[in-house]
């Protein structure tokens, strides 16, 4: 099965939006926490999802670059 560059770009954007949304929700929920252990765990959870969102952005960017590279330069 071959994955086209456009499909990979759309998948990367969807992954990034989903993961950054989960990270934003995690950061938003931290404002009500008072326990330092729970706060540390929540921060690690949110940063992990933010990292996954960054990976989605990188994959979307690389797929976009591959898709918009002229055919002459690909070979």
pTM: 0.80
The number of CA neighbours under 13 Å toward the Cβ of 39 is: 7
Q: Model confidence over 3-56: pLDDT tens digits? A: 788 888 999 999 999 999 999 999 999 888 888 999 999 999 999 999 999 999
pLDDT reported for residue 54:
96
> DSSP labels for 45-74?
HHHHHHHHHHHHHHHHHHHHHHHHS-HHHH
* Pair 42, 29: CB distance under 8 Å: yes
Q: What is the band of 73 on the pLDDT scale with cuts at 50, 70, 90?
A: low
């Amino acid at each position: 099965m071959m994955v086209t560059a456009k499909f990979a770009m759309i998948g990367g954007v969807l992954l990034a939006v989903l993961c950054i949304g989960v990270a934003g929700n995690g950061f938003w929920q931290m404002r009500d926490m008072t326990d330092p252990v729970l706060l540390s765990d929540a921060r690690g959870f949110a940063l992990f999802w933010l990292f996954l969102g960054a990976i989605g952005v990188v994959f979307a960017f690389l797929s976009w670059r591959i898709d918009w590279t002229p055919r002459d330069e690909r070979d």
